[in-house]
Structure 1
């Protein structure tokens, strides 16, 4: 699964992307459309539970979960009608699973704002409007074919028509589709359309280095908007984080202490993006490696096993599971088993965040 970083030009998208992916590429110039093809990068998801596990199970290597980020060029008003290479940019957004929208919440006369003044809510509305218009166009183009097929009695086509009509009505009220609840069957019938306003979103407030906690009125306005639409907000000073990312570990710790941060804000961004994608982690732990595996929330044990290898899912027999509290109490898997705390779970088991697992399978 992957998340796309979007925003108006010059809000700090590429600076944030480069910092998140520890890119050594030069920072983008202060010009709109400096990123035309989307850059892609893999980001590790920091998880303190990994180091806690390795206090008791010492591995040869530690592997955190990771996610894929796509840096998508700045969107401008009129993108849904092709302005500013809009069609190309929108096609990139259709392909991702979640959206990270960077909104500028800092004043800087040296960094030009595309609309002339800093207003994060206006920026959010600009992009949301373009995505709403693009989704409406997608649905309007799809409706005639769906109606024609539905007239032949095709059940899935009838579901598709019903879903399109509901979605169009919702979009006409200027509401994103992520705030519309559709029956599961109807949602599945239109899932191939890549509707952009249906994707979960995380607002990333790019703040000034003197407002790392995001107390400025501009950030509060973003939080208010997010609360109304069921979205989350994370704060980051992309410029500062880019500087921190370039330091070695010792200097990084010193700089974090100097600015009053316990960890880089990028860690928080990575974890919030992970949650926005609807992911949670389970762990495998042994002498070879301790590893966090990403799995969609609500996945069954066989589905989780399939993340490791498709054979694990195909030949799934059972899972042996314990949790970190058990490990910290009993110190070894042997003692966990002796205490009766090692659970045996079957095919219907729903994975819980933080499960430590052994999968038994036979192909």
Structure 2
């Protein structure tokens, strides 16, 4: 799972990235394009259920799910035509699964805003416009080759031309491709081009320390906009999170409590990213390890097994499943089985978030 952090210059992207990845890099200067190459970090996805499972199983190690974050340089108006660092950074966005757009929702005369004023919806419009223009360029470049191949009678190429034209017509209405209804085959073609505006978006409202829950008017503007597009909004104070990231665990907990927060931003963001991407977790538990695995909502037992190893999916026989609640009540798997709360599920079983599983398969 990979998410790209984007936004206008000086909105707090790199500060947030460094906080989330516990980076100790020097504080970035207050000017655009301080990120010269996209920084990448692999972070563990916080999930308190892992510790609870481990308290009963006593494994040698605990392995949480992983999230790859990519900090991409600030995008400015005209980026699709090469302004700022232009297409170089737009191309990095094509490789991620979801876009996290950091939107400035605080006033500070000491931090220059590239547009001269703080306006969350206008900031989003600038980024979205540049991504749409970049997609238009990509489709303009792709359609000629597809049309030439289609003239030879190639059925796949004809389908490709139809999909490209459908996307072009949608973008001409100044609408991102994530709003375009596509069937499975069409979506596969669009995904093959790495269309920027087809990717799901999560908005992070970068707030100041006096508005940690995002109740201020700037965040409300952002929420109203996001609600119309079906996107989630997570308020985060990047400055505070960067300060918390520099502390040891005990001091982090104390500081969070002092400002009225129950958990750091990474936990909140991780859940929001899962929701944005339509993902959930299941667990495997044994003496060697307790581990979280990431799967799409609606995945079947064999598909979930395939995340561990493709052979597990091919040779899937059945999955033995129990819940965290059953583990807490009965404490041991043998007791769960004896109580009749360990279920045997077949190939049609649709996985549920938090399932604890053993897969049986033919080698």
Q: What TM-score, normalized by structure 1, do the two folds share?
A: 0.96
Tell me the secondary structure at the aligned position of residue 302 of structure 2. helix
Indicate conservation of the 8 Å contact 1:45/1:274, yes or no: no
Cα separation, 1, equivalents of 2:359 and 2:62: 19
Unaligned stretches of 5+ in structure 1? none
Shift of 1:163: 1.5
Shift of 1:259: 0.7
Indicate conservation of the 8 Å contact 2:20/2:265, yes or no: no
Greater Cα shift, 249-258 or 203-212? 249-258
Instruction: For residues 48-99 of structure 1, give each alpha carbon's deviation from its aligned partner in whole angstroms, at most 9, with x where no partner exists.
Output: 2112223322222222111101000000000111111211010001111110
Instruction: For residues 163-212 of structure 1, give each alpha carbon's deviation from its aligned partner in whole angstroms, at most 9, with x where no partner exists.
Output: 21221111111111111111111111232100000000000000001000
Task: Determine the structure 2 residue equivalent to 1:65.
Answer: 65
Tell me the secondary structure at the aligned position of residue 54 of structure 1. helix
Cα separation, 2, equivalents of 1:229 and 1:175: 11
Tell me the secondary structure at the aligned position of residue 95 of structure 1. coil
Shift of 1:151: 3.0
1:332 matched to 2:332? The reply is yes
Tell me the secondary structure at the aligned position of residue 203 of structure 1. strand
Tell me the secondary structure at the aligned position of residue 92 of structure 2. helix
Task: Determine the structure 2 residue equivalent to 1:35.
Answer: 35
Tell me the secondary structure at the aligned position of residue 124 of structure 2. helix
Indicate conservation of the 8 Å contact 2:281/2:354, yes or no: yes
Indicate conservation of the 8 Å contact 1:3/1:277, yes or no: no
Tell me the secondary structure at the aligned position of residue 349 of structure 1. coil
Q: What TM-score, normalized by structure 2, do the two folds share?
A: 0.96
Task: Determine the structure 2 residue equivalent to 1:95.
Answer: 95
Task: Determine the structure 1 residue equivalent to 2:49.
Answer: 49
1:257 matched to 2:241? The reply is no
Shift of 1:275: 2.6
Shift of 1:351: 1.9
Cα separation, 2, equivalents of 1:229 and 1:19: 28
Q: How does 1:181-200 map to 2 (within 5 A)?
A: 181-200=181-200
Task: Determine the structure 2 residue equivalent to 1:243.
Answer: 243
Task: Determine the structure 2 residue equivalent to 1:109.
Answer: 109
Tell me the secondary structure at the aligned position of residue 116 of structure 2. coil
Indicate conservation of the 8 Å contact 1:43/1:270, yes or no: no
Task: Determine the structure 1 residue equivalent to 2:209.
Answer: 209
1:150 matched to 2:138? The reply is no
1:293 matched to 2:285? The reply is no
Task: Determine the structure 1 residue equivalent to 2:159.
Answer: 159
Greater Cα shift, 24-33 or 45-54? 45-54
Instruction: For residues 227-279 of structure 1, give each alpha carbon's deviation from its aligned partner in whole angstroms, at most 9, with x where no partner exists.
Output: 11111100100000010111112211221111111111232012212332332
Cα separation, 2, equivalents of 1:268 and 1:213: 12
1:277 matched to 2:277? The reply is yes
Task: Determine the structure 1 residue equivalent to 2:171.
Answer: 171
Task: Determine the structure 2 residue equivalent to 1:8.
Answer: 8
Cα separation, 2, equivalents of 1:77 and 1:358: 51
Structure 1 residues 26 and 331, CA, compared in 2 at 3 Å: closer, same or farther?
same
Cα separation, 2, equivalents of 1:43 and 1:83: 32
Greater Cα shift, 236-245 or 267-276? 267-276
Cα separation, 2, equivalents of 1:293 and 1:185: 27
Cα separation, 1, equivalents of 2:277 and 2:27: 27
Tell me the secondary structure at the aligned position of residue 153 of structure 2. coil
Indicate conservation of the 8 Å contact 2:59/2:286, yes or no: yes
Indicate conservation of the 8 Å contact 2:4/2:69, yes or no: yes
Indicate conservation of the 8 Å contact 1:104/1:118, yes or no: yes
What is the CA RMSD across the aligned residues, in angstroms?
1.4
Cα separation, 2, equivalents of 1:121 and 1:148: 41
